[in-house]
Amino acid sequence: MARKTSCISELQRERARFKPELPEALKKGAACVKVVKGKPTRSVADQDKVRELFKNTYGLPIVKFKKGANPSAKKKTINAAVVLSGGQAPGGHNVIAGLFDGLKRANKKNGLIGYLGGPSGILKKSFKKIDEKVLAEYRNTGGFDYIQSGRTKIESVEQFCSTKDNLDVCDVDALVVVGGDDSNTNAAMIAEYLKRENIDKCVIGVPKTIDGDLKNKYIETSFGFDTATKTYAELVGNICRDAVSAQKYWHFVRLMGRSASHITLEVGFKTRPNIVLIGEEILAEKMTLSKVVNSIVDVIIKRSEDGKNFGICLVPEGLIEFIPEMKELISALNDILADNADKFAELSSMEEKKNFVCGKLSNELSDLMRSLPAGIASQLMSDRDPHGNVAVSAIETEKLLIEMIQKRLAELKKKDKYKGKFSSITHFFGYEGRCGFPSNFDANYTYALGYNAAALILNGLTGYMSFVGNLLKAPKQWECGGIPITMMMNVERRNGKDKPVIRKALVDLSGKPFKEFVKMRDKWATSESYVFPGPIQYFGPINVSAITTRTLQYEQSEKK
């Protein structure tokens, strides 16, 4: 369904005129590339287990595209399908646009459909034909609203069989899965199933997640990370300006990033707040919750001694799971609540529930549970995800920290070791960053990823993830090709079973970005080194409109 003209903003009209630039290798079209194959690959870990699970697609070579003639590219008409899986990320529409343009330039008869509402659309045969006129209104815009997204997983034999049948019914020759680690793991499993059944259909993945935890040597960043962190940095920068203006509040900002702290680190680089908590560091140093609180209190006291009763603290969404004792507590709670679901449901008050749970915990974990603020303890016992586990992302970690900080400061005040004032304000920035207008970087990157996916399809490749690299250079200098999805996998124990999954990329504590952060954080703690990045720039000087993340800049400089 086309958007109403009255619903299109002035910026959207202007962005529609933006023409993404392709890497040199793709400029003559997705069917006019020379395919250069590397050596066979292996998974990042658990090679024997992953090989056993992917007997038909394991060990594929890395593929790179170069300029040149390609007589082996498929000449027949190709009908492809695209599905958006998982949470939204800026630039998703440009992936569709790049894929559409790449297919159509190769052969005007090539077609593209979009499955609606994520992977469930495949199972329900719910789709729409991608129409050039309608697609024009979505180019260079944020969100996934053209075909929507969803979190359904295709993993059972029945679902694989249904997927095969429905791809046949829709006359689909190739499926492009746009998603994060779980979604691309699904893509690899579908590719393996089709290969095992001797079905000649391609399955290609595209790396998407604002969390930034889907990356490796070839996938230098996942799309959406650039735009999302710029969006959050604008908001945090505004708060920094307010804090230094009013000089009376401590702002605690929780940022998205359930499994990794990449967003928090990048926003830290962009705004230089007083405290930036990195979950991976806390885990490596085996810090207790009390130690984390004390580290924040130390900064609050130092600033107070200089007459500064204000500051900014960034908190990654998944912090609580990086604290070893909290992770152990959450794991124990998951087991207790699963094993005693009926008995637990009979209890009416939170106090009864807490006493019941504490009675089944070890003495150490019971003491920890009782030390938590009532609201947080309630969330740990009440909020569950679809798998029946504690909904960690829903826990207001920033409020937990504040309550414990207030308690600690009150103790120090009684001992005359703290004379300042502590007033706090909390913020959570999550959904604000997922559907913004993609930055020029993400608009170019996502279009290239989609166009490159078309090249992978036209060359009959399956089980690959579209990759575009050399990202600090101008788009025409970007490299492109495909990497086997199995190359990124390891095996993890989930719900009592071994499951193949793409290994998440956590903040590397020995990497250049973290080392640079460590050099600067002491200065940030006690001074007002705040940076105010402002909104994303789409026009103007290239050093502003084309700038990418500090993380990528530090990582690429490390390779030189």
Q: Please give the distance of CA 135 from its chain centroid, rounded to a whole number.
A: 25
Burial per residue of 309-328, b for 16 or more beta-carbon CB atoms within 10 angstroms, e otherwise? bbbbbbbbbbbbbbbeebee
How many whole angstroms separate alpha carbon 446 and alpha carbon 207? 9
Q: Which of 342, 344, 326, 339 is nearest to 381 (CA)?
A: 344
**Radius of gyration in angstroms for the set of CA atoms belonging to the chain, rounded to a whole number:** 25
Q: Which of 101, 76, 24 is nearest to 451 (CA)?
A: 101
Regarding beta strands 79-85 and 174-179, do their DSSP bridges make them parallel or antiparallel, or are they unpaired? parallel
- Helices 262-271 and 512-526, axial angle in degrees (round to 10): 50
How many whole angstroms separate alpha carbon 554 and alpha carbon 512? 6
Beta-strand (E) ranges in 197-309? 202-207, 250-255, 275-276
Q: Please give the distance of CA 148 from its chain centroid, rounded to a whole number.
A: 17
Q: Please give the distance of CA 319 from its chain centroid, rounded to a whole number.
A: 16
Residue in 101, 173, 182, 211 annotated catalytic? 211
CB 303 within 8 A of CB 417: no
How many whole angstroms separate alpha carbon 224 and alpha carbon 263? 11
How many whole angstroms separate alpha carbon 17 and alpha carbon 544? 19
DSSP H or E segment with residue 169: helix 157-169
CB 532 within 8 A of CB 243: no
Is position 306 annotated as part of the catalytic site?
Answer: no
- The residues, ordered by sequence, that sit 6+ positions from 534 with a Cβ below 8 Å of its Cβ are 234, 237
Q: Is 274 exposed, middle or buried (0-12, 13-18, 19+ CB in 10 A)?
A: buried
CB 76 within 8 A of CB 106: no
The DSSP annotation for 467-501 comes to EEE-TTS-GGG-EEEEEEGGGGEEEEEETTEEEEE
- Residue 190, beta-bridge partner list: none
Q: Which of 1, 96, 11, 4 is nearest to 436 (CA)?
A: 11
DSSP H or E segment with residue 452: helix 440-458
DSSP H or E segment with residue 448: helix 440-458
Which residues belong to the active site? 211
